Each structure stands twice: as structure tokens, then as C-alpha cells.
Structure 1
Amino acid sequence: MQHDISILIIEDDAMWSQSLKNNLVDFGFTVVGTPNTFQNAITALNSLNYDIALLDINLHTRNEGIELGKMLTNLYRKPFIFITGNFDKQTMDQAVEAKPSAYLTKPVNPVSLYVTIQSAINNFNNKTVAIAAKPGETDSDSFFVKLGDKYKKINWKDVVYLTSDKNYTVIFNAVDGTEYYIRSSMNRTLQYIVPKHLQGKFIQVNRAETVQLSFITELIADEVYTPYKTFTVSENYIRDLKKQLNIIA
């Protein structure tokens, strides 16, 4: 059974904490807690069920986040992402010792937030430690969904289609012939979750369905054919589809 990835936010700035929470919820993550002090964070780490933590290095003008990071690595064995607005050399040297799975710099934009969480899960699963902040890296060719207590990696090149289902986006993975759910609207999925360098490969064929161009085998009248499913193209989308398929007549 597929589950939402749960996240613990440890941040002393209420505005940043709420902003992070809003964006995470919009992307379909579950926020299980938002402790804002070292002691409250310890309580949360011990009592809450979470998959990954977003951790501010500088809690109340002190680098208490680094100590919490070391505990997450050595005691709780959970992936975490360091967040800070100031990555000076001394702070970075200390942060590296905590072995974070990724870094984020403030201000955090939605695309960086989503991709960094995916990268952190991948790094943690592969036992890879992030050694430097790379805020410019905002694209990823894959993403993870949670299945029970496991994370399944899905490559965007294998996604045949996306279907809107109320507040969810259903994606079909060609590798295992299975549909998975992203708790995000179709528009938000296409704008923020599909990597920017791959967005041009996905073409909307009607209000509720988007198809990856590489899987289209035929267009007959208003029907698009793939090896897995046939789609009806709405009048408003047919011109763009023909243009993307290089149909000139």
C-alpha cells in the first residue's frame, strides 16, 4: 500500500516553518510536527513517526541543529536535510561531521524543496553523505514513493501518463505496469514536480490527462495511442499535440 512520506520540521522561525509546511503539504507530504527548540526537537525525535527531518542548523542563534543532526545520524538513523541562510566555512565544516543527506539554503523555493527531499532519500538509501550545499541543483530524473516501510524509485523516463484524480495525480510506471499516486494537483505536478528539463516531453491531451511523447505510437483522428492505453484528445489540445509530434499537414 502506498503511503505519504512523513516529515518533521525543526525550525525556530515561525514564518519559515509555516512556509515549509505549506509547501510540503501542497506537494503531498505529511508534516508530523514542527518543534522550534532543542528540547522540543528531542521530544519529537523520540515520540513521532517520521521518514525524514528538515533541520535548521541555527536554532536560537546557536548551532544546536548540528548536534541534532549527529543524533539523527548516530542514534535515530534517519535521513535529514540541513537548512540555513548562512553556509560559512566554519559552519559547513561542522555540518559535514553530522553526515546530512542533503542541504537547502534559505530562501527555499518549492522546486528545490521537493527535489532536495527526493535527493536526500536517494542519498540515504545509497549511504551517500552530502558534502556541500548545491542550491542550484533543482532537477532530478527520478522520484520516490513510499510503499509500506520501503521507498520505490521511479524514473520520469518510464512514466507513460499522468491522470488527474481530484487532489491527486496518478502516474503510470511502464517498468512494473503499476499506477502510483502523487498527492498534488495535475497543474502543480506539471509545474513543480516534473523536472524542468523534462517538462517539454509531457503533453496534455485533455483536462485530466497528460502523456509522455516518447510513448505515443499513433494519432488517429482525436485518439492518441500508446502501448498501454488510448487517450481522447480534446479540441483545445489537438493543435499543440500535433505541433509536438511534428505533424505539419
Structure 2
Amino acid sequence: MKEKLRCLILDDSLIDQLSLEIILSEYGEIKTTSVSTPEQFSQTICQNNYQLFMIDINLGTQISGIELAKQIPHKSQAWVIFCSAADCQKYYDLYKELSLRKFYLQKPIDEFSLRTYVDSFLRHF
């Protein structure tokens, strides 16, 4: 049996975390882990090899989700889907600098758009 692909969700909103988990649970080939703080994110990415990240940009802390994404190994083939309800234009330059395969979804998450990204991700892997 093929090993499941790993997804790490970072969102400080429990409701948003659960929404993402529910949608991703319909994909049997993806195993999700959720965290809610930058510290948990930093600890968790060291413990496993993740292929997909879903990261909230505005975490209510001094560090943004985009800045945290810099911790993802550059050799990684990982995909990152950033999500935010806030106007994130001020983060655009940081976003552009990331060398990862990255996407953006506005909250509230449109399920069709999310599924489109996830389906493309699964075809890639």
C-alpha cells in the first residue's frame, strides 16, 4: 500500500482548522496534522516530511505564516496553500520571494477552489 501524503495545517482559528480537516478527510491518500501556533509549526515540521502545507497568513502574532513558510526545506517538493481573511497585499513581496510551489485562497475558503488545488497536488505526487 502506498504511504499517505502528509499535510500540515497551521491556523489559529479552530473553526478554520476543522473546516480544512473535514474537506481533506475526504481524500484517503492524505493524512493531516493541525497546529495553531508558530511554535507548534516549527516543532512539527522537524518531526515529519510534509508534502502539503495549508498556512494561515495572519496568525495574531508578530510572525506571519509566510515568514514561517521559510522554514520549509527548499529542496522539498512541497506545495503551500496560504489562506487569509485579511487583506494580504502587504505580504505580497514576502510571498513572491518564496521558492516553494505556492497558492493563495481567500477566507472564507471556497471549497471548489480548495479541491481544485488538492486535486492538482495529488496528480503531481
TM-score, normalization: structure 1? 0.44
Deviations 1:2-57 (A, max 9, x none): 343321101111110011001100233221x2111111100010012322111111
Count residues with an aligned counterpart. Answer: 123
Residue 110 (str. 1) matches residue 111 (str. 2): yes
Percent sequence identity is 26
Q: In the alignment, what sits opposite 2:89?
A: 89
CA contact (8 A) 2:52 2:80 kept: yes
For 1:12, what is the secondary structure of its paired residue? Answer: coil
State the 4+ residue runs in structure 1 displaced beyond 6 angstroms: none
- Single out whichever of 107-116 and 93-102 deviates more from structure 2: 93-102
State the Cα distance separating 1:76 from its structure 2 match.
5.3
Contact in 1 for aligned 2:5/2:31 (Cα 8 Å): yes
- 1:2 matched to 2:2? The reply is yes
The root-mean-square deviation of aligned C-alpha atoms, in Å, is 2.3
Q: Kindly indicate whether structure 1 or structure 2 has the higher relative contact order, using CA contacts under 8 Å at least 6 residues apart.
A: 2
TM-score in terms of structure 2 length = 0.81
Question: Does residue 1:98 correspond to 2:95, yes or no?
Answer: no
- How far the C-alpha of 1:61 sits from its partner, in A, is 4.5
1:70 is matched with 70
C-alpha displacement at 1:58, in angstroms?
1.1
Greater strand share, structure number:
1
* Counterparts of 2:54 and 2:22, CA distance in 1: 14
Tell me if structure 2 keeps the 8 A contact 1:73–1:79: no
* Contact 2:55-2:82 at 8 Å conserved across structures: yes
Partner of 1:162: none
Q: Which amino acid aligns with 1:30?
A: K
Separation in 2, partners of 1:75, 1:49: 12
Q: Distance in 2 between matches of 1:84 and 1:62?
A: 15
Q: Does 1:53 align with 2:53?
A: yes
Q: Distance in 1 between matches of 2:119 and 2:69?
A: 18
Distance 1:87 1:117 in 2: 23
Matched ranges for 1:1-249 at <5 A = 1-28=1-28, 29-31=30-32, 33-72=33-72, 74=74, 78-99=78-99, 100-119=101-120, 121=121, 144=123, 151=125
Residue ranges of structure 2 left out of the alignment (5+ in a row) = none
The Cα offsets for residues 156-176 of structure 1, whole Å up to 9 and x where unpaired, read as xxxxxxxxxxxxxxxxxxxxx
**C-alpha separation in 1, matches of 2:88 and 2:53:** 22
Structure 1 unmatched ranges of 5 or more = 122-142, 146-150, 152-249
